Amino acid sequence: MKVNEIFFSIQGESSSIGLPTIFVRFTGCNLRCTYCDTKYSYYEGEPDTPEGIMDKIRSYGIKRVCLTGGEPLIQPRGEMQQLLDLLAKEDYEVSIETDGSIDISKFHMHDRQRFILDMKVPSSSMSDKMDFENLRRIVPGRDEVKFVMGNREDYEWSKSLIRNYDLDPAKGYQLIFSPIFGDLTYEQLVNWLLEDRIDARFQVQLHKIVWDPNLRGV
């Protein structure tokens, strides 16, 4: 496995927003989104093992971990599964931030482990790379679906996916709508959600409000 950075911060996104979290950012990504804010993770990093990563995780003394990237699921599948197994054995809460293009059914998830499926909208220029079957593979009540958008087209595209794949929050589906930082105002997105009665969580990138938006390792 190749790791870009491991750091301790608050979770800036997802249902764990605001909670202290250990981040393991893996190197490499199979996509090139126009708004990517972690381009430094495309190539920078050092090799490590699941056991070595666990040693670093344990040193922080917190039982909440986010596996992110880049795209974490392009790491060797056997080693990623081994890491998930080790985290489960020590009862860590785990979220995996994945870009929606990798078949999530290839991984065995344990209790207290979930996917955050970040479906790439049209303005990312990567929406045609999505594995839309993932929207049938997610587990209601466990996994989350995130849409990060920059304009009205992105918003309408996201709404159509929710409708076409019957991602009804009443059935346990957890939906997150978030604006691309600096492209879409908070007020505009909130107004759309309220006007359309979309039962989704509006979310900002909290870490970009607490710290300089360009700061790494937070």
The string of pLDDT tens digits covering residues 165-188 is: 999 999 999 999 999 988 899 999
**How far apart are alpha carbons 168 and 200 in whole angstroms?**
10
The string of pLDDT tens digits covering residues 137-159 is: 999 999 999 999 999 999 999 99
Q: Which residues contact 133 (CB under 8 A, 6 or more apart)?
A: 103
Annotated binding site for [4Fe-4S] cluster: 29, 33, 36
Annotated binding site: 10-12, 25, 29, 33, 35-38, 68, 70
Contact 178/14 with Cβ under 8 angstroms? no
- The pTM of the full predicted model, rounded to 2 decimals, is 0.93
Domains within the chain, CATH numbers bracketed: 2-210 (3.20.20.70)
> pLDDT 10s per residue in the chain (218 long)?
999 999 999 998 888 889 999 999 999 999 999 999 899 999 999 999 999 999 999 999 999 999 999 999 999 999 999 999 999 999 999 999 999 999 999 999 999 999 999 999 999 999 999 999 999 999 999 999 999 999 999 999 999 999 999 999 999 999 999 999 888 999 999 999 999 999 999 998 887 788 777 777 77
Burial letters 48-64, b for 16+ CB under 10 A, else e: bebeebbeebeeeeebb
Annotated binding site for Mg(2+): 38
Annotated binding site for substrate: 10-12, 25, 68
Annotated binding site for S-adenosyl-L-methionine: 35-37, 70
